[in-house]
Amino acid sequence: MSLVHEIDYGTPAPRTDKMVTLTIDGMEVSVREGTSIMRAAMEMGTQIPKLCATDSLDAFGSCRLCLVEIEGRNGTPASCTTPVAPGMKVHTQTARLAQLRRGVMELYISDHPLDCLTCAANGDCELQDMAGAVGLREVRYGMEGANHFAPASELTLPKDESNPYFTYDPSKCIVCNRCVRACEEVQGTFALTISGRGFDSRVSAGQSEAFLTSECVSCGACVQACPTATLSEKRLIEIGTPEHSVVTTCAYCGVGCTFKAEMRGEEVVRMVPWKDGKANRGHSCVKGRFAWGYATHQDRVLNPMIRAKVTDPWREVTWEEAIAHTASELKRIQDAYGRKSVGGITSSRCTNEEAYLVQKLIRAGFGTNNVDTCARVCHSPTGYGLNQAFGTSAGTQDFDSVEDSDVILIIGANPTDGHPVFGSRMKKRLREGAKLIVVDPRRIDLVRSAHIKADFHLPLQPGTNVAVVTSLAHVVVTEGLVNEEYVRQYCDWDEFQDWAEFVADQRHSPEEVQKLSGVPAELIRGAARLYATGGNAAIYYGLGVTEHSQGSTTVMAIANLAMATGNIGRRGVGVNPLRGQNNVQGSCDMGSFPHELPGYRHISDDATRATFEAMWGRPLDPEPGLRIPNMLDSAVDGTFKAIYIQGEDILQSDPDTHHVAAGLAAMELVIVQDLFLNETANYAHVFLPGCTFLEKDGTFTNAERRIQLVRKVMAPKNGYGDWEVTQMLAQAIGLDWTYTHPSQVMDEIAALTPTFAGVSFKKLDEMGSVQWPCNDANPEGMPIMHINGFARGKGKFVVTEYVPTDERSGARFPLLLTTGRILSQYNVGAQTRRTENSVWHPEDVLEIHPHDAEQRGVREGDWVRIDSRAGSTTLRAEITDRVAPGVVYTTFHHPGTQANVVTTDFSDWATNCPEFKVTAVQISRSNGPSEWQEDYDAFARQSRRIAVAAE
């Protein structure tokens, strides 16, 4: 695979079936109407020299290198900005053009430093390449390295090294504008400008600020776009140009960006967003692009460890001893306490194949269905709610669909922080004119950001989602905005009528709902009218919907709204959960819930169970097993004794930390498989080192049901892939597993799971990715679901009665705490905290409205204590009107904060998903960490000790 400068075709051709035929250099070529001459030439194999044009940006025509001659026209137009025309005769290589191009290049090179031929970007610089392509041998003027003098001095401007990941060297800038346009058009941040004039013009971040302190979000789009070494990865400068590359899938959020890992030996030089990646289309965020250094961080544990008690120091052992000890402990516990005294948790960070094997081990090997996954605490209501309404537990669209949306409704999600690459695509569509409705207690960035302003922001009180979404439906029904034709054709009409009667009741009117949600009635009415009548309307939602006691109800209310307005089953519309973790969709698909086998088939179904029993050669329990909170409850009760946790840190990620700690402490065997000694490992007796996505083969499934290959770029530093460790454990307890590669696991998944029947590593290799269902009916997958009818038959309307959460604010706890993520950190921070991303977010802070802060005498940066019914913690205050009075907000990326000490054990009625988003709290000034934090710190320090091996 070529490492640098894959062929770039200039601005992509428009979507049209109309073809135009023209002649280029004497050869006839047919291309789509609206295609640029440059792209038409590239498609027939002729590369026209260029500097400012690139696939990811609209043609700009600034560098004047791509000139061509057109018979019958004067001058030499730029081929990147000139569209083809029928019968056009174009010449790309003439003596006149060659001379003009050399002249242009000579000017660029003369304005460039003397070290051009020895600079770090050698072999990775389009300027150098183009100088060669146009035959420039000699530069007659300048060439003194005197580019861009600082006005008041005789020195060239210094490099800006402030960003931890890339440098900016203004002396090498050719002011082609590509970085500025990438920041605007691709990322949508508008952080860069061109300042100065003539030879002194240069790119600057913000008002000539350092990159680090500017608005720059370090997505890397500018570095990617730069055709010279002006913006360069520091790793490239340190390590040198890469030698080979491997295309793989990012392991951060549910967007599932494809990257080209560029390597020198076993070392990653850089991760370059892959322009053919169907989820990211060549874009990236600061996490996937730069924050992968955790893979080689010194904290990684590479040897298995065991201990008898959690207060003992860890003892490093061989893999053989660790596996044999674990298997014998599992046997001892099951013999003593029964088959159902053990269980496990699969990981949404691991591959489909790994999640599949863990649930198989528990069901077939342990003989119990006590298996659950971290989706329990995030998107389990999505699985339940969408399955009820549509018949599938997944989002309905692909990401490309947003390009056809006229109205975007975001509920309880913050795409620019949580799903930044898709957030950028959303912003692009909004800049093109799509309307925006945001339903969120907090003023997320999209409500007001560069060139974007939400048409409606409904700042509801946390916990009132069902009331507000049902009220939107009330307006749709009572104002005659239902798409009756759609509903009659595709949905159950009787259920619709019952539902319509329910939502039309006056108690769901905006005026009534205003009283409990705090959202002005006119905003609810305006938003509902816009959603129902504004054209293609798409809903995107996140954990602000699911992590509530009525999470499943809100998901069904959202589905009702989409069906009632006919916004399902075509591009631009749909119901789209923005999944938090890279493989949360996949871990759910793979049968990680206690009641479901892979493909969401109930464990009690005899026929389904018989298929798995035949393939696995073991009897399966027809009774659903325990969910995570039930496992912890049973542990406290003394009936659940052992757990195998792959790639999760439940002590930090699950609610009511005291309860999680009590459950773990009550078990006789806690097996943690992870990269680092995480917080849960403080309660573990066996630690099995895990490996990173860079060290494994497999697949991830992103939020759009897209299954993509994860390819190994280096050998596992701990010796084994995670799937191999699970297999060793399975063999040690008597299972006859003999997989030699994860592709064989996928073959088994395909054989057992109808929606995956057509999936194989070979197909994924050939197609790049595929969106399930992929089977005989849909051999290339299904980008958009529920076209001409629903997977379940008729779409189901469900009555969504609003039931207020039991978690209420009152005199003792008068504020409502809600939680979320920030761009630079990820989830519990285990990876991002071990990278330089912490420069942007070194600690969690509490956002509090100025009014609430003043009432409590809290000033910016003060330590404050949060008290809830569950517990207390401390952190620093940030005073901001992003949150409404009465609401406070924090992130949960840092274990020092332990934000979940204060969250309660209230949970979704249908799925037990915890109510992270509503906790009644009181805030007061504090002198520092709470007693619990200090005690826990001391315990964690003791628990993490590793015994020094005897000589």
Which residues here bind ligand FES, judged by CB under 6 A?
Answer: 50-53, 61-66, 78, 80
Q: Which is nearer to ligand FES, 45 or 433 (CB)?
A: 45
Q: Which is nearer to ligand FES, 66 or 216 (CB)?
A: 66
Q: Which is nearer to ligand FES, 31 or 80 (CB)?
A: 80
For the stretch 308-311, contacts whose Cβ atoms lie closer than 8 Å and that sit 24 or more positions apart, written own/partner, are: 308/685, 309/685, 310/665, 310/670, 310/682, 310/683, 310/684, 310/685, 310/943, 311/942, 311/943
The encoded tokens of residue 854 equal: 């003043």
- Closest approach, Cβ 52 to ligand FES, in A, equals 3
Rg (CA), the chain: 29
- The span from the CA of 95 to the CA of 78, in Å, is 16
Q: Which is nearer to ligand FES, 63 or 439 (CB)?
A: 63
Q: Which is nearer to ligand FES, 77 or 142 (CB)?
A: 77
- Closest approach, Cβ 362 to ligand FES, in A, equals 57
- Closest approach, Cβ 281 to ligand FES, in A, equals 20
Among left, alpha and beta (phi > 0; psi -120 to 50; other), residue 733 is: alpha
- Closest approach, Cβ 79 to ligand FES, in A, equals 6
The encoded tokens of residue 124 equal: 């990775």
Q: 670 and 686 in contact (C-beta within 8 Å)?
A: yes
Q: 228 and 170 in contact (C-beta within 8 Å)?
A: no
- Closest approach, Cβ 400 to ligand FES, in A, equals 26
- Closest approach, Cβ 20 to ligand FES, in A, equals 20
Q: Which is nearer to ligand FES, 78 or 848 (CB)?
A: 78
Q: Which is nearer to ligand FES, 36 or 576 (CB)?
A: 36
- Closest approach, Cβ 83 to ligand FES, in A, equals 13
SS3 815: strand
- Which residue, among 115, 123, 130, has the nearest Cα to 171 in the 3D structure? 115
Q: Which is nearer to ligand FES, 133 or 237 (CB)?
A: 133
Bond before 773 cis per omega within 30 degrees: yes
Q: Which is nearer to ligand FES, 64 or 618 (CB)?
A: 64
Distances (CA, A) of 25 to 10, 44, 47, 199, 364: 19, 11, 12, 36, 66
Helix axes 352-360, 742-752, angle to 10 degrees: 70
- Closest approach, Cβ 88 to ligand FES, in A, equals 17
- The span from the CA of 286 to the CA of 640, in Å, is 41
Q: Which is nearer to ligand FES, 80 or 543 (CB)?
A: 80
Distances (CA, A) of 861 to 429, 477, 845, 876, 891: 37, 48, 9, 5, 16
- Closest approach, Cβ 743 to ligand FES, in A, equals 42
Q: 641 and 329 in contact (C-beta within 8 Å)?
A: no
Backbone angles phi, psi at 872, to 5 degrees: -145, 155
- Closest approach, Cβ 176 to ligand FES, in A, equals 7
- Closest approach, Cβ 42 to ligand FES, in A, equals 12
Q: Which is nearer to ligand FES, 53 or 269 (CB)?
A: 53
Indicate the burial class of 323 (C-beta count within 10 angstroms; 0-12, 13-18, 19 or more). buried
- The span from the CA of 7 to the CA of 720, in Å, is 37
- Closest approach, Cβ 38 to ligand FES, in A, equals 7
Q: Which is nearer to ligand FES, 41 or 815 (CB)?
A: 41
Q: 134 and 97 in contact (C-beta within 8 Å)?
A: no
- The span from the CA of 455 to the CA of 517, in Å, is 19
Indicate the burial class of 898 (C-beta count within 10 angstroms; 0-12, 13-18, 19 or more). buried
List CB contacts of 350: < 8 A, sequence separation 6 or more: 358, 583, 587, 646, 647, 698, 722
The encoded tokens of residue 320 equal: 């053989």
